[in-house]
Amino acid sequence: MKGLLNSLEAAVNLMEIKQKRAVFGENSYSQINSLHYSGQKKAFIVDVTLYTDEPELLEDSYNTVYEDYIHRAWRLLGISEKLIIVKKCELL
């Protein structure tokens, strides 16, 4: 699971990097805190933190756009299982 966690973190941070920095801040990056499979929900659950030094940019984009980035990174890895995202934001 550790390899999948690292791959997802790299995909989220490197995918569409210019657009992502414009939306979330120039110095923004994501950290995957945990990734596990829930047999009860039949889905992977990812706990992710977005770090930014420009929180004013998040007002319009954090709730929907950030989840889109994570879902696209998940599909980029070729995984078809459902993904549940638990997200939070921290200031740099």
Ordered per-residue pLDDT tens for the chain, 92 residues: 778 999 999 999 998 888 888 889 999 999 999 999 999 999 999 999 999 999 888 887 787 889 999 999 999 999 999 999 999 999 99
Q: Is there a contact between 29 and 69 (Cβ–Cβ < 8 Å)? A: no
Output the pTM of the full model.
Answer: 0.89
Q: Is there a contact between 15 and 69 (Cβ–Cβ < 8 Å)? A: yes
In three-state secondary structure terms, 4 is helix
The full set of domain ranges for the chain reads 2-91
Residues shown for the chain:
92
- Give the whole-angstrom CA distance, residue 23 versus residue 60: 9
- CB-based burial, 10-28: b 16+ in 10 Å, e otherwise: ebbbeeeeeebbebbbeeb
What CATH number belongs to 2-91?
3.30.300.20
